[in-house]
Amino acid sequence: MMADISIGTARHIDLIKMRLGREIKNLEKEGLRVSLKESSAGRFNFVSCQVMPGGDKRGDIQAIFRHRIARSLSELILGQWQKMLLKDMIRENYYYFNEKERQNILKYALIHLGYGRGGEKAVYHQLYKKRIMEKILDFLRQNDQIIVEGFIRFRLKDYVEQLEQAVERAVDDFLMEREYQEFIQLLKYFVEIQESRVELVHVLKLPGGAFRLLDEQKQILKVDYLENLFMDLTEGEITYEDMLISTLITLAPKQIIIHNPDCEQKNTVMETINLIFLGRVRECTDCPLCRKK
């Protein structure tokens, strides 16, 4: 029995043709004969797929064919279509960002969807691929024509909502990162315009998140004008990291050595110090001070 399914899209029909082309080769290896025909209607382009049994091939040809189509379309939606959907959402809802800013937002959105986090991408991908495949199969049992954009809009509303939430979180991340970078630039400016009060400061990380500052002679740093700074800082909510950065900015040392035996575990405050005191910071991972702690 011959099976016939038509797939339409308003854009990127070549993506569908390319993916179906690979699937056709697999079907032909299994003894099925497949043909593709292209057509158009208005703004939509269609690829019609016909599959017929060949040789001694038996079984439910339609079920096999629908499964392969559903698998191909689910992979396309989670691959190329997903990124296009995210770009459309960012462009339409956050049009006031320039192109570079939109690219950064896209990057954050993909991270929220599991991309760039090791095995999380695989888990997310397989979970949604299964859900999307099931919905495509249900649809194809009742219909022999599917339009990708319409199917996503009306049959994958939960998936689209997931993408919208990822974009919203991505915008928040982008704005926070931009504010952080602007803050870092301001602190760099403060450091650059003032004279260095000391030549060298050793920074030792202590258990519990505290820090110890040593001078050039590797003695505990004691400077009178720092006492008022600490009194001001401790009046409000302040962390060890805040105190460390404020102290270093006040001292504006020409060189900072961070003694950090656990350098593989990157610390946000250390990254901040590197950005503020660009070119003045180096890490030490194995010296008497490191081992002494």
64 shares a domain with 118 = yes
Is 63 strand, coil or helix?
A: helix
- Residue 116: what pLDDT? 62
CA distances from 47 to 30, 65, 139, 178 (A): 22, 15, 17, 45
Q: Over the stretch 93-115, which tens digit does the pLDDT of each residue have? A: 999 999 999 999 999 999 988 87
68 shares a domain with 86 = yes
- Average pLDDT on 21-35 reads 84
Q: Over the stretch 54-72, which tens digit does the pLDDT of each residue have? A: 655 555 788 888 999 999 9
Cβ burial of 121 (10 Å; 0-12, 13-18, 19+) is: middle
- Residue ending a domain, choose from 185, 215, 234: 185
102 within some domain = yes
163 within some domain = yes
Other beta carbons within 10 Å of 204: 21
Higher-pLDDT residue of 49, 3: 49
Does residue 233 register a pLDDT over 50? no
26 within some domain = no
17 within some domain = no
- Residue 281: what pLDDT? 94
User: Could you tell me if 178 and 235 are in contact, meaning their C-beta atoms sit under 8 angstroms apart?
Assistant: no
170 shares a domain with 215 = no
35 within some domain = no
74 within some domain = yes
Q: Count of domains in the chain?
A: 2
Q: What is the CATH number of the domain that holds 270?
A: 3.30.420
21 within some domain = no
Task: Determine the structural domain holding residue 141 and report its residue range.
Answer: 58-185
12 within some domain = no
Alpha-carbon span 12 to 32, nearest angstrom: 27
The whole-chain average pLDDT of the chain stands at 85
Higher-pLDDT residue of 48, 3: 48
- Residue ending a domain, choose from 185, 219, 252: 185
Alpha-carbon span 151 to 149, nearest angstrom: 5
Question: What ranges make up the beta strands (E) of the chain?
Answer: 3-9, 32-41, 44-53, 145-147, 200-205, 211-214, 255-259, 281-284
Structure tokens at 38: 């292209």
283 shares a domain with 214 = yes
Does residue 223 register a pLDDT over 80? no
Instruction: State percent of the chain over pLDDT 90.
Output: 52
234 shares a domain with 178 = no
Alpha-carbon span 137 to 62, nearest angstrom: 11
User: Could you tell me if 113 and 128 are in contact, meaning their C-beta atoms sit under 8 angstroms apart?
Assistant: no
